[in-house]
Chains A and B, each alone.
Chain A
Amino acid sequence: MTAPAPPADVPARPSASAQRLIATLGGFGALAGLLIVSVFVVTQPTIRANKAAALAAAISEVLAAPDRYDTLYVTADALTRELPSGANAETAEAVYLGWRGEAPVGFAVVANGSGFQDNIRLIFGYDVSSAQLLGMLVLESKETPGLGDKIYKDAEFVAQFSQVHAPLVGVKEGQGNGLPTELVMITGATISSRAVIKAINATLERVGPLLAAYDVQEPRP
């Protein structure tokens, strides 16, 4: 890594001292930090508000426009209003309890599953007492355009999620027995349809008991 020595008559740039190197990098590091933090402070409220608005819109969609909702954090054995100690408000798993006036509408729950191409993330509304779904909205997916993306573009398929009962059973078109748990899958996108069904069933299996055990009449703080 030794550079050839510059000819003596050329006033070469002197090799910088270690202090100068550290000072330069430190100086630019500080400048970079300052710039980033100031932009962060300016943009953060908008980013937070955008995220909150997107979440509220999704909950409104799957719970048929409730007046308001409570955020409940999922712990190993219960739902709690308070953020469990040590958890991060942005990453902790939560479910959302919607209210219309003084009556609870149902829970909005986020579910994940592996689809045809990549993970599918969705939110669905669920009424515990009747085990009925209230709606479903795909939040993220990379399913094949024209085929798998029907899980959110096909209105008929999506509409089924506002009346089907858990646990869901996927059936092919024209092969069902008319049971309330049956969900007609999309022709040509069976794998994506099954992925949605599986994600919802698996999530309900896990958090369903917690939802059922939660006392919705618990006095609000």
Chain B
Amino acid sequence: MSPAKKPPPSQELIKGIWRENPVLVQLLGLCPALAVTNSVANSLAMSGAVLFVLLGSSLLVSSIKRIVPTDVRISTYILIIATFVTIADMILEASVPAVHKELGAFVALIVVNCIILGRQEAFASKNSVGRSLLDAVGMSIGFTLTMVLMGTVREVLGNGTFLGYSVLGPNYEPWVIMILPPGGFLTLGVILLVFSWVKRRSAARDKVASSIGGPAVQEAA
């Protein structure tokens, strides 16, 4: 790979936010996206832990990529990821015990979150340290935005609050189902449908003249 072929570094950062958003496009990391997004605070804590693990693992994996033999590549990556997850778990437990209790086993489950291993295998093991870090930050931002979006929808509708502050007033009858498990599936399902509808609409716009494509797609919706 010659450097000329590579996209500009800023692209590595931005792609994770929309074009290659880990949750919405790649459908990775669904387990935490559904399980801990019942409040905005939990979504943020989980995103912070993922950012930490992804940054740490990408840094280490991209700097050691030359000395690890191919045969034990995956095992080494898992070992590295598990180390950072354990560290994140202990730091969370020491600094914010209440949030740690809420997240429970789902912090440990970051180990098997496909986003992390996927980025190591697909990106950090083949790219320079700088680019891998940018990629990790970009993916984490994309993950965080999705998590916070879901957390906001679920907390506002299901509890009438945002980060614990009441936003819909005392007369709002909370839509409790949104903070229960089915609410997670429904919220993500609706987000994915809207996401795919928007993408199809813009694709249709590119193809057909906007005077024909616009109304036709709106009708289909």
List the interface of chain A (C-beta within 8 A of B): 13, 15-16, 20-21, 24-25, 28-29, 31-32, 35-36, 39-40, 43-44, 46-47, 50-51, 54, 140, 144-147
Contacts and interface: CB of A to CB of B under 8 A. Distances in A.
Nearest to B175: A146
Given A43-B91, A47-B94, A145-B179, A32 B80 contact: yes
Interface in B75-101: 75-76, 79-80, 82-83, 86-87, 90-91, 93-95, 97, 101
Q: Which 5 A-B pairs have the closest CB atoms?
A: A16-B69, A43-B94, A46-B94, A32-B83, A50-B97
Interface string B131-158: 0000000000000000000000000001
Contact of A25 (B67, B79, B86): B79
B159 A28 contact: no
A43 B90 CA distance: 7
Interface of B: 67-72, 75-76, 79-80, 82-83, 86-87, 90-91, 93-95, 97, 101, 158-159, 174, 176, 179-180
B176 A20 contact: no
A116 B128 CA distance: 52
Contacts of B83: 31-32, 35-36
Contacts of A24: 67-69, 72, 76
A25 B174 contact: no
Contacts of A25: 72, 75-76, 79
B193 to A, nearest CB: 26
Contact of B159 (A20, A35, A47, A145): A145
Contacts of A21: 69, 71-72
A147 B177 CA distance: 12
Given A20-B69, A32-B83, A43-B90, 10 more contacts: A15-B69, A16-B72, A24-B72, A31-B83, A36-B83, A43-B91, A43-B94, A47-B90, A144-B180, A145-B176
B158 A32 contact: no
A36 B79 CA distance: 12
Contacts of A145: 158-159, 174, 176, 179-180
A36 B70 CA distance: 25
15 contacts: A15-B71, A16-B70, A20-B69, A24-B76, A25-B76, A31-B83, A35-B83, A35-B87, A43-B91, A43-B94, A44-B90, A46-B94, A46-B95, A47-B97, A147-B176
B180 A29 contact: no
B76 A28 contact: yes
Nearest to B86: A36
A21 B68 CA distance: 8
B176 A146 contact: yes
Contacts of B95: 46
A140 B102 CA distance: 10
A50 B94 contact: yes
B199 to A, nearest CB: 34
A78 B174 CA distance: 48
- Of B72, B158, B179, chain A has the most CB atoms within 10 Å of the CB of B72
Contacts of B101: 140
A90 to B, nearest CB: 13
A37 to B, nearest CB: 10
A183 B159 CA distance: 29
B176 A36 contact: no
Given A144-B176, A146-B176, A36 B87 contact: yes
Contacts of A140: 101
A25 B91 CA distance: 26
Contact of B79 (A29, A39, A51, A147): A29
Contacts of B70: 13, 16
Contacts of A35: 83, 87
Nearest to A54: B97
A126 B82 CA distance: 44
A178 B21 CA distance: 62
Contacts of A31: 83
A33 B69 CA distance: 21
